[in-house]
Amino acid sequence: MKKNKPNDNFDASNNTEETFSLDDLLNKFVSNQDEDAFEKLFAEIGERLFSFIFRYIGNTAQAEDVYQEVCLKVAMKANTYSHKANVASWIFQIARNTSIDAIRSKGRRPTVSIDGNASQAETTIIELVNDNEINPAEKAAQIELATNIARAIDKLPNEQREVFLLREDGGLTFEEISKIVSCGKETVKSRMRYALERLRNSLGKEAQNYGLH
């Protein structure tokens, strides 16, 4: 099933290259053994996926291992995809289960220390901040905000964190999240509400500059 190119990705220079949905890419990969489709699939979803894994586990090295394992699982078990759920939902379910296994085996080692001292991993977040077009004062504020956000997410309970991350990073609906975490839709919504409340309280005044349009 071909899908029209989204407006935000649309190239104005008469580029007629067709884009495919995640379902199509996975089907193409399974039926035609198309490796390009596999790469495109992860190009589409990879950033969100890694962000989710990174925030969920809280450690870059461990997140990379889990990410690679998820890629492998998707490649190997692509035939078993039953088309009952969304492809993104399916891949995020794999990612969530693999992350849980990793946390169980190795434990959760947050990137940012709870006591507020900048750790070695904290610099990873800082590096991620876009520093090309902003002045140093704004850059410092963003770094502080990123650190605070990372700390606030680490402080969240697992149930609330996973719901928040699946909604924000995975872009899944509450219905899909309820299927992944195996609970009711209303439970997911309440978990999300509590997660937002905690995040709001943690960020405090820092969030005021980014809130309202």
Partner 1 sequence: MDCIKTKSLITEYLYDEIDKDLALLIEEHIANCDECRKIFNSNKRALNAYRSIKKTTPAKSFVKSALSTSRDARQNAFKAGKASSITKLEPYLKYIRHPLFAAASVAVVIGIVVINSWETDEEYLKKNQLPVTITSNEIPLLGEEKAKLPPITDTAKKAKKTISAEVSQLVTKAKKKISKLESTDSLSIPKEETMVTTASTQEKVLPKIRRREQLQNVDSIDIERKEIPSKPTLKSQMALRAKAITTNKRLLARTTKQKEIKNKDNKISANKTTDSLENNDKGLELHIVNNLKNKDKPQKDKVETTKFADDTIENVNGPEISGFEEEEADVVEDIPTEPEDILKKSFELFQKQRYSDALYYLDEIPNNVGKNELTIAVIELRILCHNILGNKEEVEQGLDILTHLNPAFGSRLARKIKNSRINIDGKEEIKPIIPISKLLQTKK
Contacting positions for partner 1 (CB under 8 A): 33, 35, 38-39, 42, 46-48, 50-51, 54-55, 60, 63-64, 67-68, 71-72, 74-77, 79-80, 124-125, 128-130, 142, 145-146, 149, 167-169, 173-174, 189, 192-193, 196-197, 199-200, 203, 206-208, 210-212
**19 three-state secondary structure:** strand
User: In the bound complex, what is the minimum distance in angstroms from residue 64's beta carbon to partner 1?
Assistant: 6
Cα 38 → chain centroid: 19
Query: Are the CB atoms for 111 and 60 separated by under 8 Å?
Result: yes
Query: CB-wise, 128 or 140, nearer to partner 1?
Result: 128
CB neighbours of residue 87 within 10 Å: 21
CA–CA dist 77, 98 (Å, integer): 14
Q: How far is the CB of 187 from partner 1 (least distance, A)?
A: 12
Give me the least distance between CB of 16 and partner 1, in Å please: 26
Distance in angstroms (rounded) separating the CA atoms of residues 200 and 210: 12
Closer residue to partner 1 (CB): 47 or 101: 47
Q: Which of 91, 90, 93 is nearest to 101 (CA)?
A: 93
Residue 2 or 213 with smaller CB distance to partner 1: 213
Cα 181 to Cα 60: distance, rounded to the nearest angstrom? 24
Least Å distance, CB 107 to partner 1, is 20
